[in-house]
A and B are shown apart, each in its own frame.
Chain A
Amino acid sequence: MIDVQARIRNYLLADVALVALVGARIYAGRAEPPPGYKPGDGAALVFKVRGGGLDYEDALLIPSVQFKCYGEDEVSAWMCYCALHDALHDGRSAQILHAEAETLGQPLEEPQTEWRYVLAHFTIMMRT
């Protein structure tokens, strides 16, 4: 099976506008940033596959992916989300057949750390 999360991360790292905001702080397979990260370090993107499936012939993997866009405050978190949306919605590549937003982002706050983030979900059709 292909490594869906690695492909998504590589795809996002190729987006100049997004990387200008988050740098290499794109963390795959996580629900929260890794230990040591602080919003003061700059915006960060955390994502994990939350479900999905395959097509009839197993030629495509179609994961539903949860993204959390962190920022130093709610404004920078939202800008991180906007850059993610621009990079991924209707996106395509040699490996990604099609990506689209399931819902628009929802601004939220981590209950324990009070970090601001935007929660968003995308469906990504990926060639196997």
Chain B
Amino acid sequence: MANVVANIIKSGATLYRAPVGETIPDETTVAYGAAWGGNWETFGYTKEPLTISYESEEADIVVEEELAPVKRWRISESLTLETVLAELTAAYLQVAASDQDDVTETAAGAAQKGYEETGLGGMFELAEKAWGFEGLFITSGGDDEPIRVFVHKGTAMLNGEVDFSRDSDDYVGVAIPRRALADPSQDAG
């Protein structure tokens, strides 16, 4: 394959979430940076890059007559997207916690401060969502084009510590990995 400088990517990424089965954005009509439309939603500022990791567990098939494996099979796989949300709201906390509760917003009034209320804990079921992210590909002509990756079904979890510190030189972030689930309605490969 030829070396193509334009294929070298330098990009951040924007995370999206939607109900399972949501139509993915059209590659022709939805430009880079434009809202994906439908029920796709984004999550405000992030404080760390989006990472994607694919892990494949494999089994070697060994026979007595050969020193090296003669075949190798994949026996399990996992896909994880992870980032850290920079904005701390009740709604984003629920995104990280796989939607355990609704968020109730009380509007500010003359004798009432506005606030958000939500719950956490006691839920066995994890909310399954479609996930996606969009990065930037700059063509050799300087045009912006999207790079889009989709996880058709996956769950989120609150990962690690949410660090409230007055002494730290950092600010509070919510780390949320999204782990993919198998979606048999999609073609393999």
Residues of A near any B CB (own CB < 8 A) = 55, 57, 59-60, 92-95, 97-98, 125, 127-128
Contacts and interface: CB of A to CB of B under 8 A. Distances in A.
Contacts of B8: 55, 59-60, 97, 127
Contacts of B10: 97-98, 125
A57 to B, nearest CB: 7
A68 B3 CA distance: 36
Given A92-B142, A93-B142, A127-B140, 7 more contacts: A59-B3, A59-B5, A59-B8, A93-B138, A94-B140, A125-B10, A127-B5
Contacts of A55: 8
A92 B189 CA distance: 34
A59 B142 CA distance: 16
Interface of B: 3, 5-6, 8, 10, 136, 138-142, 144
18 contacts: A55-B8, A57-B3, A59-B3, A59-B5, A60-B5, A92-B138, A92-B142, A93-B142, A94-B139, A94-B140, A94-B141, A94-B142, A95-B142, A97-B8, A97-B138, A125-B10, A127-B6, A128-B5
B143 to A, nearest CB: 8
Nearest to B11: A98
Question: What are the 6 closest A-B residue pairs judged by CB atoms, nearest first?
Answer: A94-B142, A98-B10, A93-B142, A59-B5, A127-B5, A97-B10
A123 to B, nearest CB: 11
A57 B7 CA distance: 13
A122 to B, nearest CB: 14
A55 B3 CA distance: 14
Nearest to A98: B10
Contacts of A125: 10
Nearest to B10: A98
Contacts of B3: 57, 59
Contacts of B138: 92-94, 97
Contacts of B139: 94
A98 B8 CA distance: 11
B144 to A, nearest CB: 8
B18 to A, nearest CB: 27
Nearest to B9: A97
Contacts of B141: 94
Nearest to B138: A92
Contacts of B140: 94, 127
Nearest to A99: B10
A98 B9 CA distance: 9
A95 B3 CA distance: 16
Residue in A55, A95, A127 with the greatest tally of chain B CB atoms within 10 Å: A127
B45 to A, nearest CB: 14
A55 B5 CA distance: 11
A42 to B, nearest CB: 29
